[in-house]
Amino acid sequence: MSARVVHLVGARPQFPKLGVVLRAQLAAGDGEPLVVHTGQHYDPAMSDAFFAELGLPAPVAALGIGSGPHGRQTGRMLEAIEETLLGLRPDAVVVYGDTNSTLAGALAATKLGVPCAHVEAGLRSFDRSMPEELNRVAVDHLCDLLFAPTETARERLLVEGLGERTVLSGDVSAEAVLHAERIAASQSRILETLGLAPRRYAVATLHRAESTRPEVLPGLLHALATAARRLGTLVLPLHPRTTGAIAAIAPGWPETAAAAGVRIVEPLGPLDFLRLTGDASMVLTDSGGVQKEAFLLGVPCVTLRGTTEWVETVDCGANALATDAGTVDAAIGRHLAANHDRDALRARALDLYGGGRAGARIAEGIRTLSKEGRT
């Protein structure tokens, strides 16, 4: 009898990673995977489009949790996931990344005695003001099997006494980007739709809850407008949370930003966003996933944060950290002066992140874990 493995996701960055692992499991004949979607990202453009474009199977359970304060959202997820797992009776659960969905899934599984694996384990920004950092640490110490994407992540888990649970898998994002990039090249028409020429525009994203606080958001918006003046057109697919925050905190900013060269667009599906990123001159983002995708695509990045969990991107010079208009402008200047060799950045990223073979390693680990769960 095939093992019953539940893959629990809920937010946009997790969906491409899920696709890599599912394809590897299906290729190995590991049975039919079961996907549970918490609904943390509930906007159709943030969720439905990703499942459709990436060819992901429909969830066996869509919990529809939605947004809310961290405690309330995580508590509602925990209750709903526990009920779902009791009904599905899986042999193992797989969680991804560092969201509240990740934490709730790991808590529910371990409290029910179901073996749990964490994809993207061992990442640390050492900034405990980030909810994602707290989630990462807690999930790693809860889970039975930890898939470390990099040697740095593996070493961090060793320091924390978790070496026996750790597998150096490589990073699923490398495979996800390679897979989606090939499809996007033939299917996406986003540049034509927006009337953009390759390398003649930049891309920005701004979505983290911490970025949209009243004391933080105005400075970041000023930084984006400043960047647009220097880089030309700055395309900003606007997350629903950020749209609401701008309306409440800086209602006049869209008009000011448009005059500076910021072009606000609706959230994009994965293929359109990947093509938009790959052909950009530069990326500015507060997202962990986007800064790494930029590295894998060979595009220089400015991360709108003071810390990053993907330290390799900074060490290689592909990424710079900045938190206000002055430091953003300086980071842009350094990237422009460096005139990066994009092919060299891509090659370095693939080497650091496992060469595009993480999916098979993770599928093998899940197979072993699920067998243990059935004994």
Q: What residues are annotated to the active site?
A: 207
Backbone angles phi, psi at 149, to 5 degrees: -75, -25
For 359, residues 6+ apart whose C-beta sits below 8 A from its C-beta are 20, 21, 23, 24, 172, 175
Buried b (16+ CB within 10 A) or exposed e, 33-61: bbbbbbbbbbbebbbebbbebbebeebbb
Nearest alpha carbon to residue 208 among 218, 198, 217, 195: 217
Q: Are 181 and 174 in contact (CB under 8 A)?
A: no
Q: Are 27 and 179 in contact (CB under 8 A)?
A: no
CA distance 13 to 370: 25
> What percent helix, strand, coil does the chain show, rounded to 5?
55, 15, 35
CA distance 170 to 150: 6
Q: Which residue has tokens 């507060």?
A: 286
Q: Which residue has tokens 């790494």?
A: 292
Which tokens belong to 234?
A: 């700055």
Question: What is the dihedral sign for C-alpha 20, 26, 28, 34?
Answer: positive
Nearest alpha carbon to residue 17 among 363, 375, 373: 363
CA distance 318 to 292: 9
Q: Are 5 and 89 in contact (CB under 8 A)?
A: no
CA distance 373 to 6: 12
Q: Are 201 and 236 in contact (CB under 8 A)?
A: no
Q: Are 294 and 283 in contact (CB under 8 A)?
A: yes
The CA–CA distances, whole Å, from 97 to 100, 122, 140, 231, 269 equal 9, 10, 10, 32, 20
